[in-house]
Amino acid sequence: MDKLYESAPPRKTKHGTFPVVDNCIEYKSFGYNPCDSGFVIGEFFEYEDVDIKLVSDIKDEKYIYPVCVRDFGHSLGIHIWEKIDNNTSFLDFISKKTLSHFRSGQAKLLIYYGYEEDSIDGDSLFRLHSDLLRKLSEKEIPIESVMYSDANILLHTESDIKDIKMVISNYCTNTFYRYTREHKQNLYHGKHEKSIENRQKWEDSRNRIRDKYFLCYNRIPKSHRALTVLSLYKNNNLDKGIVSFPNYGMSSWDIVEKKEDYLKKEHYWWILKEEDIIEEYEKYSDGLIEKLPLRLDKGFDICHSITHFNLNHYLNSYFVICTESHCVDRKESGNALAFTEKTLKPIMNFHPFILVANTGSLKHLKEYGFKTFSPFIDESYDDIDDAGERFLVIEQEINKLCSKPIEEIHEWYWSIEDILKHNYYHFYNKFAPKERQRFLDEISFKA
């Protein structure tokens, strides 16, 4: 690292506690500092055999030089939507010593774009590959000394890029694995008093009918979330669940620019596409708006994803309608895919789920070793490339579940107890620690 400050976020490894300052943090592009991340990659290093040193103290040892970015294009001095290149990049803020180490092979540059995945056509290496190569060439940095990492689990399968080493970062998986083990009041296993209490509450719920069918969190009113909540209202299912959804102006991003467009066709037309279908949903927008905001235990202006779970929401419902970060056409997204806290929370709280997400999400969860909930839930929606068609099939499944007597849903829930337990323990005992170690192995010189 270039700098360590007392005021920076501390990262504790087996070699000590390091108040790390992001490399290239001073670089400013399009009005802000895209390399100011709070050293987010450090979450993978905590309590691990990772030694953090100042570049000024490096002699002959090989090392990784991480640059964490919040916007990949901006970090290269490129505004992808405005098609502007300001002819600068974070590379301008790397010391001559480090540049020489890249050229000699002593150091590797790790460009870490964690967070949630972006589409192949969006702010990612896939779109900016040639721009990165050009800017590396200007600094005489050999491509062999560069690694790129983001949260798209399809990095290797959806691209023919071979010249840059790409490392998948299951960022949210690692974050929640670390966080819940540190805050054991979120757990349903272990010897912690609160964990034991949580497990007992879950076991005791076997003997009572819960009040609600489902749980559906929605903070930022993205188009597929707006459509999901509108569908719940349209089909008289809204009161059957625990649902959050903001009014216009409550979250950090309203999706539509004008208040009069909120929950109207401008909000979701590109998902449904067909005018007659769009109009059918739009009929219900005014009625839903009168009910907003649907506020639960948190506000909408701040992201509360890394907080203690509200266990009562899970203990008082049977399944989760999970509106993931993205739900778009495969041809539009390039089938980018990541599992955020939105998918992981039901797994960590013994809940089955329906994923309003990109195609192939369930397929890849199963490849990771998780189990899903067919045939009680028709999961054929996961194979549908068109987002609108996929959503309409999902809507049918939600309607089917909500039309059943809640006693039948209760019986089904406990009939899949073994699957719920499998997913829970698989996350903690295998999936999360394995993904953490894989990431560390792949960025090391040994890989």
Clarify whether residues 127 and 143 are in a common domain. Answer: yes
Q: What is the pLDDT of residue 385?
A: 94
Q: What is the pLDDT of residue 193?
A: 96
How far is 179 from 341, CA to CA, in rounded Å?
12
**Three-class SS string for the chain?**
CCEECCCCCEEEECCEEEEEECCCCCCCECCECCCCCCCHHHHHCCCCCCCCCCHHHCCCCCEEEEEECCCHHHHCCEECCCCEECCCCHHHHCCHHHHHHHHHCCEEEEEEECCCCCCCCCCCHHHHHHHHHHHHHHCCCCHHHEEEEECCCCCCCCCCCCCCEEEECCHHHHHHHHHHHHCHHHCCCCCCHHHHHHHHHHHHHHHCCCCCCEEECCCCCCHHHHHHHHHHHHCCCHHHEEECECCCCCCCCCCCCCHHHCCCHHHHHHHHCCHHHHHHHHCCHHHHHHHCCECCCCCCCCCCCCCCCCHHHHHCCCEEEEECCCCCCHHHHCCCCCCCHHHHHHHCCCCCEEEECCCCHHHHHHHCCCCCCCCCCCHHHHHCCCHHHHHHHHHHHHHHHHHCCHHHHHHHHHHCHHHHHHHHHHHHHHHHHHHHHHHHHHHCCCC
Residue 384 CA to chain centroid, in angstroms? 21
How far is 234 from 231, CA to CA, in rounded Å?
5
How far is 251 from 220, CA to CA, in rounded Å?
6
Q: Identify the bridge partners of residue 112 per DSSP, sorted by sequence position.
A: 68, 149
Clarify whether residues 198 and 165 are in a common domain. Answer: no
Domain's final residue, options 122, 145, 169: 169
Beta pairing class for 214-216 and 319-323: parallel
Clarify whether residues 242 and 344 are in a common domain. Answer: yes
Residue 420 lies inside a defined structural domain of this protein: yes
Q: What is the pLDDT of residue 331?
A: 78
How far is 151 from 117, CA to CA, in rounded Å?
5
Q: What is the pLDDT along the chain (447 residues), one digit of tens a residue?
A: 999 987 777 899 999 999 999 999 999 999 999 999 999 999 999 999 999 999 999 999 999 999 999 999 999 999 998 999 999 999 999 999 999 999 999 999 999 998 766 666 688 898 899 999 999 999 999 999 999 999 999 989 888 899 999 999 999 999 999 999 989 999 999 999 999 999 999 999 999 999 999 999 999 999 999 999 999 999 999 999 999 999 999 998 999 999 999 999 999 999 999 999 999 999 999 999 999 999 998 888 777 776 788 999 999 999 999 999 999 998 766 678 989 999 999 999 999 999 999 999 999 999 999 999 999 999 999 999 999 999 999 999 999 999 999 999 999 999 999 999 999 999 999 999 999 999 999 999 875
Residue 444 lies inside a defined structural domain of this protein: no
Angle between helices 387-403 and 265-272 (to 10 degrees): 100
The residue written with tokens 């909408």 in the block is 300
Clarify whether residues 138 and 260 are in a common domain. Answer: no
Clarify whether residues 291 and 360 are in a common domain. Answer: yes
C-alpha distances out from residue 224 to 129, 145, 229, 324, Å: 29, 40, 9, 9
Residue 255 lies inside a defined structural domain of this protein: yes
Q: What is the pLDDT of residue 116?
A: 67
Q: What is the pLDDT of residue 330?
A: 86
Domain's final residue, options 169, 194, 229: 169
Q: What is the extent of the structural domain holding 139?
A: 3-169
Clarify whether residues 184 and 155 are in a common domain. Answer: no
Phi-psi group of 334: left, alpha or beta (phi > 0 → left; psi -120 to 50 → alpha; rest → beta): left
Whether 168 contacts 152, CB under 8 Å: yes
Number of domains within the chain = 2
Clarify whether residues 129 and 57 are in a common domain. Answer: yes
Whether 317 contacts 212, CB under 8 Å: yes
Burial pattern 188-215, b for ≥16 Cβ within 10 A else e, equals beeeeebbeebeeebeebeeeeeebbbb
How far is 21 from 276, CA to CA, in rounded Å?
54
Q: Tally Cβ neighbours within 10 Å of residue 5.
A: 9
Clarify whether residues 76 and 105 are in a common domain. Answer: yes
Clarify whether residues 290 and 384 are in a common domain. Answer: yes
Strand order in the sheet with 241-243: 241-243, 214-216, 319-323, 353-356
Beta pairing class for 63-68 and 107-113: parallel
Clarify whether residues 262 and 333 are in a common domain. Answer: yes
Residue 446 lies inside a defined structural domain of this protein: no
Domain's final residue, options 154, 169, 184: 169
Phi, psi of 354 (to 5 degrees): -110, 130
Q: What is the dihedral of CA 345, 347, 353, 357, to 10 degrees?
A: 60
Q: What is the pLDDT of residue 388?
A: 97
